[in-house]
Amino acid sequence: MDLPKDKPAGRASLTIDAVLTLAAFVFFTLILRSHVPSSDPFFIWLWGAITASCLAAVFWLALQMFRVVLRAQLEAKERAAAAPTAQDHAE
């Protein structure tokens, strides 16, 4: 099995992932506040943020899986384009 030639996660991709995950966390927190059965604003924000942190973690994992699959598909496509076809061998 060949080792990857370049780093799978650079500084830019980690920054993009962090920004997207933070945006998802804020979005989930704002959405989930209305689902907390409390009248105290502190607990509404607290439980909304706790629940949103779990969802943001799942979002981050899904983002990482998407990146891995996309990279594997692009590499497979490059290998398929570089491989000789049956027509090339016939000539």
pLDDT band (50, 70, 90) for residue 4: low
- The contacts of residue 38 (CB under 8 Å, 6+ apart) are 44, 47
The per-residue pLDDT for range 26-78, each reduced to its tens digit, is 999 999 999 999 999 999 999 999 999 999 999 999 999 999 999 999 999 99
Locate the domains of the chain by residue range: 14-83
Radius of gyration, CA atoms only, the chain: 22
pLDDT band (50, 70, 90) for residue 84: confident
pLDDT band (50, 70, 90) for residue 10: confident
**DSSP state letters, 60-90:** HHHHHHHHHHHHHHHHHHHHHHHSPPHHHHH
Euclidean distance between CA atoms 3 and 43, whole angstroms: 49
pLDDT band (50, 70, 90) for residue 86: low
Q: How confident is the model at residue 45, as a pLDDT?
A: 97
Q: How many CB atoms lie within 10 A of CB 29?
A: 19
